[in-house]
A = this chain, B = another copy of it.
Amino acid sequence: MSELRQDPTTYDWVIIAKERAKRPWEFRKENMTRPYFPAHSDSCPFCPGNEHRTPEAKAVYGGPGEWKTRVVPNKFAALTTDVTAEREEIGPFRKSPGYGSHEVVIETPRHDNFIPFMDDSDVGGIIRVYRDRYHALKKDPAVRTVIILKNHGRGAGTSLEHPHSQVVASPIVPPSVRRRYEIAVQYYDNTGRCLYCDIRDYELRTSERTIAETEYFIVLHPYASRYPFETWLMPKVHNSSFGNISDDEVADLAATLKQVLLKLYVSLENPDYNMVIHTAPVDDEHKAYFLWHIQIIPRLSLPAGFELGSGIYINHALPEETAEYIRGFEVPNGETA
């Protein structure tokens, strides 16, 4: 028997296909041998020595001679600041030049140093760079939203294997983001509480879908997961914007994120995944009704016509089972796989 579950943050429904469900370990890639990546690649534009192959850096951390993290404009930016953000109506349509910023965070000089194998402090450094760029980009008065994301692996939409993430600043609040706020505001107006904090606290109490709890974060597989092994990292301290993350939270998040990605790497054999930081629009950084959080989506399933047509996703994994499976993977802090 399948089960329809509603995501209270979007009102979207998900079909959890219990009977067609795969067991968690069946999502491991078949016959996978872990790929070999060299520590340095002459042909990689993100490797040291090839700095001239990227646009000029917006920020360099760790010193230009021996940098640890570089932030560069995306060579193929989807949005740029050399146009206006004005909107224009044309027949029944509306358009605007693609105003905004699109930056790449080169996370490490090492071609093969993925987050699961980094020192906690280096992961913390990347998160601080995210926070820096968030604050740098929001200074632009036209910017309404800053989206921080990471695509890992070809199946997640990246063509460059060198560890990197992206920071996008846009003058538009996307309707899907606006909708989440409308729902959260309604919940807040009805109950006086933050919907996301209520979800987090319910998950902590029932602990069926939680993976980890640290001083500042909890990690869980959401009740209405659209994707197998979809994972959320939620702060314990209410805060609508990632931009407000404290240094203590950064240090905790670094260790937690590393553990989560290491567990995914080990349990599913280096799956392709997308990671997104959901945060309030820059005008709403101190709201009581939204909680910033991180969503990780391993690319283990393929949305088909039903998903594209109805917006209802069919998930062939039970989040309670995948959470239990991940909890069972003990990986020592500092494993280098």
Contact = CB atoms under 8 A, between A and B. Distances in A.
Nearest to A171: B4
A297 interface: yes
Interface stretch (A26-34, A147-155, A322-330): A147-155
A136 interface: no
Interface residues of A, number: 74
Contacts of A304: 149, 151, 156-158, 274
A2 B79 contact: yes
Nearest to A297: B308
A233 interface: no
A74 to B, nearest CB: 10
Contacts of A155: 302
B4 A95 contact: yes
B156 A12 contact: no
Interface string A153-176: 001111000000010101010111
A317 to B, nearest CB: 14
A97 B19 CA distance: 12
Contacts of A306: 78, 147, 149, 166, 168
Contact of A91 (B12, B16, B151, B202): B202
A150 B305 contact: yes
A176 B179 CA distance: 11
A274 B304 CA distance: 7
Given A4-B96, A80-B2, A92-B199, A276 B174 contact: no
Contact of A78 (B17, B145, B172, B202): B17
Contacts of A179: 179
A274 B97 contact: no
Contacts of A19: 76
A36 interface: no
Contacts of A12: 174-176
A15 interface: yes
Contacts of A297: 305, 308
A49 interface: no
A1 interface: yes
A2 B95 CA distance: 11
7 contacts: A2-B78, A4-B99, A5-B95, A15-B98, A78-B306, A157-B305, A177-B311
The 7 residue pairs across chains A and B that have the minimum distance between CB atoms: A157-B304, A176-B311, A2-B98, A276-B309, A149-B305, A274-B305, A6-B94
